[in-house]
Amino acid sequence: GEDVEQSLFLSVREGDSSVINCTYTDSSSTYLYWYKQEPGAGLQLLTYIFSNMDMKQDQRLTVLLNKKDKHLSLRIADTQTGDSAIYFCAESITGGYNKLIFGAGTRLAVHP
């Protein structure tokens, strides 16, 4: 079946690294995405990784994919207060025409 799970809350100190974890169930997933949602806003695409890759780095963001365990993580280096938001993990379904399966979202709180 199609299911994506995330922990609901993460609190970090400003300047530390944040790691948000996600597990998915559909082995036919082609791409996995991380989106950010700030209050009252839509979803902002942060980064994505193809299912045959292990890692992708984009400035402060590092995505790690363990396909065997169906585990995806997003690491944010040097976390800032502006990073406070809800982060969604999502998987695309082969032939799904932009049908993404989203996790419930992880609320990241950054404190001084």
Q: Which residues bind other proteins (CB under 8 A)?
A: 30-31, 33, 35, 40-45, 48, 50, 88, 90, 92-105
Give least dist CB 112 to other proteins, A: 28
Q: Decide the pairing of beta strands 9-13 and 106-111.
A: parallel
| Closer residue to other proteins (CB): 23 or 30 | 30
CB 102 within 8 A of CB 88: yes
Q: Which of 13, 8, 56, 51 is nearest to 32 (CA)?
A: 51
| Closer residue to other proteins (CB): 105 or 110 | 105
| Closer residue to other proteins (CB): 65 or 101 | 101
In the block, residue with structure tokens 């938001």: 85
Give least dist CB 13 to other proteins, A: 28
Both tokens of 29, joined, read 């997933």
